């Protein structure tokens, strides 16, 4: 008895068993590729619809807050500038005061030195005068009479 092979006939083409094992996976791959293409196309259409229906969010609140923050920042910068100017003036005034005090101290030191020299000179003169008087008093013959 002869072995009968299973055959499939489609559009006038006869396909026997061993060839059928090659065609079935090929048809599965083709069908899978078509299905993947249709899924991809549907995702594309859905995304296209979402893009067309997209509306930008309302950012006016953020813009208003930014304007308020900018005005506050400007005010802070103005205040910082004022404080910096006042600090610069104080520094300059303090520098002038220190220079003035240095000048006064130098003048006082000079006067003290001059006064010290004059006082020392006057003290020497006074000392010499007192010594002379004492010497004269000791040399005076009348000074010995009290004994």
Instruction: Report residue 130 as tokens.
Output: 């007192």
Domain boundaries, the chain: 1-55, 58-147
Reply yes or no on whether the pLDDT at 14 is more than 70. yes
Instruction: Give the least confident one: 13-17, 67-71, 123-127.
Output: 13-17
Degrees (nearest 5) of the Cα angle 112, 110, 103?
A: 120
Reply yes or no on whether the pLDDT at 146 is more than 60. no
The rounded distance, in Å, linking the Cα atoms of 69 and 76 is 10
Average pLDDT over every residue of 85-104 = 96
Helix (H/G/I), strand (E/B), else coil: 10: strand
Reply yes or no on whether the pLDDT at 39 is more than 70. yes
Give the helix, strand, coil percentages of the chain, each rounded to 5: 85, 5, 10
Query: What is residue 147's predicted lDDT score, i.e. its pLDDT?
Result: 53
The rounded distance, in Å, linking the Cα atoms of 29 and 23 is 10
Degrees (nearest 5) of the Cα angle 25, 28, 33?
A: 130
Residue 15's Cβ-count burial label (10 Å; 0-12, 13-18, 19+) is middle
CB 7 within 8 A of CB 15: yes
Element (H, E) at 13: strand 13-16
Phi, psi of 3 (to 5 degrees): -75, 130
Reply yes or no on whether the pLDDT at 7 is more than 80. no
């Amino acid at each position: 008895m002869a072995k009968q092979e299973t055959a499939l006939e489609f559009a006038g083409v006869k396909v026997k068993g061993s060839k059928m094992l090659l065609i079935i996976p090929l048809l599965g791959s083709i069908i899978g590729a078509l299905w993947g293409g249709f899924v991809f196309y549907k995702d594309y259409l859905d995304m296209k619809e979402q893009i067309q229906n997209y509306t930008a969010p309302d950012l006016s609140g953020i813009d208003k807050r930014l304007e308020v923050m900018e005005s506050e920042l400007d005010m802070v910068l103005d205040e910082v500038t004022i404080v910096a100017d006042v600090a610069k003036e104080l520094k300059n005034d303090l520098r002038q005061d220190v220079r003035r005090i240095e000048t006064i101290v130098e003048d006082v030191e000079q006067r003290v030195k001059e006064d010290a020299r004059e006082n020392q000179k006057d003290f020497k003169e006074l000392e010499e005068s007192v010594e002379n008087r004492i010497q004269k008093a000791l040399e005076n013959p009348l000074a010995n009479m009290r004994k």
